[in-house]
A and B are shown apart, each in its own frame.
Chain A
């Protein structure tokens, strides 16, 4: 499952890197100009030399990779593996953002959703970034590729919220909203309710997605922050299909609503 994803992502990755490089390039040219326009003070102050380093490097590239859900799910009769992660690389103002999620179970890989997005803080907002790029549904079902446009950030009361709109050929439109909230029970025990909702404008029977609200994946997880970056957790998750999605799911003989016990690790680095 990992292998296909990575090989597919290769193309969009290269494109997104090019995009980011282009956008990053503009501010850096501007700052270089700002420095060279420093007034000279002949005989008074030494000239800054072009090969001198900047006094501080406040445009450093950082990276972040978070696997929010790296877990086993069991309904008692059925077992699944779930992976949901995102990561970014870039400066404060320009980032390449990768998101990936999917289920792996007895019936193969489903809900395989992978995105490569250019990310930039939205001017005049404090905690929200705009994201644009592509989404690819790659799993055991037919592949779909979408253009993606979304927002990710922190709403008041520390709510993480992440609505995204997707468009693909022949007028298909999809929407997704992700939300989560961290409730610190103690300094290291953290309860996280989380929900993801998917919407589609048209039926896509071969991927078992119907128009309207298609599915909800929600859960509540109690994690322990052994360190900030390694958090084992236990929890409960609900995964349900609605509308025509439910119909397609029933037709293939699967349950339309699963309530499962989950356990796994939340890790980042």
Chain B
């Protein structure tokens, strides 16, 4: 139960933390205080207010929660009903969204969809049952408040014992901080989209690159990009030129530090709570065993490094045996800075901070050009799409082994495409109550045999025609599945890097019905104009995506842009079709690489108006947002 005293303690320590923020050395007492900035129980009171901070050496003002930024970690227990009273002491409307939580739509905290928002001076009481476990986070969904620090982590302890044991655990919340007002960052991007990019093509780096690979090829490559008014150096829209990267609210020089005893298994709950930054995370000297992604347990997989899209979470186990310190090193994808922290057996001991890796470059593959079969240049765009589609379908096949193994038509095949819902009628109202999160105890909600008997191809998406124009600058000639690729910049770095194909759910998926229809969405944008959207449309000019309560659909995302987009669907799980069939992982945020085609299944089991958007905050506010209505 919530104890008032503990709550007050939390506030005081968070305040103390803020005061210590700029210091390099840590005393034991400080660590103890930081731990107290975790709140647990089932009743919480959060106060949002401005907060003086100093992350960079300059005084600035953040939006804090209970006097700290990031806010306190909320520790919940699966099965509890939690009440969170959020009081807004800011001068502007605010909100808190519980990222990844499967809760009633009116508790989801999205102004304009769930509620009006929390007006200045007002208190809004969130109350919902916690029907899942894992690592999640919360953040404001109002304007750019997550950029100014209105975020925190959520840890939900499972009812069942943890499937993987550990001796201690720490949350590692990564974020990007700017002293500058986010409104001004957005405005700068609208006026000059590469405003924060200090890694453009120059005469100087032309000369150095020519030395390495010859002037001819360098010129040829550069003119190929310039002809399209594109740049292979377009990795991050906002960079270390304005950002300081934080680990649990600590800038690199203030070095967040925590303790371990050699031999212990330490669970690190990584959360990418940044607004615009992808982090490449590693701990030199320690292999990382990934055990959970986006709050859902996965089969342990050992890697040296992983990339975190904005809003994704990964839980890893590390087991340091030596009496030595280790650096948690999270470099921004564009290598303009890093967040770092230290795991150490005793205070005062630190490890070296590795140099940053070479900066990634976009390739012609990111542009959707297959250089190996360059004859493809003359094929039409649509042909390219079809090819990719087929490839994707083959990809998806291992995802439905049962239906293909037993899949004789036990039922007269019914015409699909009339919007009838075989899934619903077959399973007698399956989906009318939300499916549970897959776990040790969960049984498939639809018997496999029933599911298999509907070996019916899902109704294809109505064709999506994308034309280049002011809102669509690029349209790849060829898209493909890139689940096996770790991402730009990781090629041949000598480390084992996590890919999406590695993620295999620990527990079988609950809803075993095949999808009845497909929804194809292209991620589109014009970098130069800094306009982003789905299918060439911004939120304000698009209709909501409508799902029928209880239906199961396949969402096909095709990234027509040259950037990665972390696509987040509120309220419903996104079951990534990565070839593991019933063990496809459940995610809340799906990272889509440039010119990638990725698909996932969604059970529309919770009615409501759900936000669906790119979690890069400035892409979202530039239009890459849709409402998904489940009714």
A residues lining the B interface (CB < 8 Å): 27, 30-31, 34, 37-41, 44-46, 48-49, 51-60, 62, 64, 92-93, 121-127, 154, 156-158, 183-188, 228, 268
Partner of B469, one of A58, A59, A123: A123
Partner of A38, one of B111, B467, B528, B627: B627
Decide if A62 touches B608 in the complex (CB within 8 Å).
no
Assembled-state Cα–Cα distance A59/B227 (Å): 30
A-chain residues with CB within 8 Å of residue B228 when the two chains form the complex:
156
Q: Does B546 contact A (CB under 8 A)?
A: yes
**Given known contacts A46-B114, A48-B609, A183-B203, A56 and B468 CB-to-CB distance under 8 angstroms:** no
Q: Write out, one digit per residue, whether chain B residues 445-476 have a CB within 8 A of any chain A CB (1) or not (0).
A: 00000000000000000000001111111000
Decide if B541 touches A27 in the complex (CB within 8 Å).
yes
Count B interface residues, CB 8 Å.
65
Decide if B105 touches A58 in the complex (CB within 8 Å).
no
The 8 closest A-B pairs by CB, nearest first: A41-B631, A121-B470, A44-B607, A55-B112, A58-B623, A184-B202, A45-B608, A31-B540
Decide if A154 touches B116 in the complex (CB within 8 Å).
no
* Chain B, range 379-425, C-beta contacts under 8 Å to A: none
B-chain residues with CB within 8 Å of residue A185 when the two chains form the complex:
202-204
Partner of A125, one of B469, B546, B620: B469
Assembled-state Cα–Cα distance A123/B116 (Å): 35
Partner of A126, one of B115, B526, B539: B526
Partner of A127, one of B117, B229, B625: B229
Decide if A45 touches B526 in the complex (CB within 8 Å).
no
Which of B540, B543, B629: most chain A CB closer than 10 A?
B540
Decide if B470 touches A122 in the complex (CB within 8 Å).
yes
Partner of A53, one of B116, B540, B542: B116
A/B interface sample: 13 pairs, CB < 8 A:
A38-B609, A45-B607, A51-B116, A54-B539, A64-B190, A92-B529, A124-B469, A126-B468, A156-B226, A156-B227, A187-B198, A187-B202, A228-B192
Partner of A57, one of B470, B531, B621: B621
Assembled-state Cα–Cα distance A186/B151 (Å): 38
B-chain residues with CB within 8 Å of residue A31 when the two chains form the complex:
540-541
Min CB–CB distance B378 → chain A (angstroms): 20
A-chain residues with CB within 8 Å of residue B629 when the two chains form the complex:
38-39, 41, 45
Min CB–CB distance A129 → chain B (angstroms): 8
Assembled-state Cα–Cα distance A127/B625 (Å): 23
B-chain residues with CB within 8 Å of residue A156 when the two chains form the complex:
226-229
Partner of A58, one of B198, B226, B539: B539
B-chain residues with CB within 8 Å of residue A55 when the two chains form the complex:
110-113, 141, 539, 611, 625, 627
- 18 additional A-B pairs beyond A57-B621, A122-B470, A185-B202, beta carbons within 8 Å, are A27-B541, A48-B112, A49-B116, A53-B93, A53-B111, A53-B117, A55-B111, A55-B627, A56-B112, A56-B621, A58-B622, A92-B190, A125-B469, A125-B470, A126-B472, A184-B202, A184-B203, A188-B198
Decide if B544 touches A38 in the complex (CB within 8 Å).
yes
Question: How many CB-defined contacts (below 8 Å) exist between A and B?
Answer: 152
A-chain residues with CB within 8 Å of residue B543 when the two chains form the complex:
34, 37
Q: Which residue of A lies closest to B192 (CB)?
A: A228
Partner of B470, one of A51, A123, A228: A123
**Given known contacts A41-B631, A45-B105, A126-B470, A56 and B620 CB-to-CB distance under 8 angstroms:** yes
A-chain residues with CB within 8 Å of residue B468 when the two chains form the complex:
124, 126
Min CB–CB distance A190 → chain B (angstroms): 9
* Chain B, range 591-631, C-beta contacts under 8 Å to A: 607-609, 611, 613, 620-623, 625, 627, 629-631
* Chain B, range 171-226, C-beta contacts under 8 Å to A: 187-188, 190-192, 195, 198-204, 223, 226
Assembled-state Cα–Cα distance A127/B105 (Å): 39
Min CB–CB distance A220 → chain B (angstroms): 14
Q: Which residue of A lies closest to B538 (CB)?
A: A58
Assembled-state Cα–Cα distance A41/B115 (Å): 15
Partner of A56, one of B106, B223, B470, B623: B623
B-chain residues with CB within 8 Å of residue A126 when the two chains form the complex:
229, 468-470, 472-473, 526, 528
Decide if B204 touches A186 in the complex (CB within 8 Å).
yes
**Given known contacts A54-B540, A127-B229, A46 and B470 CB-to-CB distance under 8 angstroms:** no
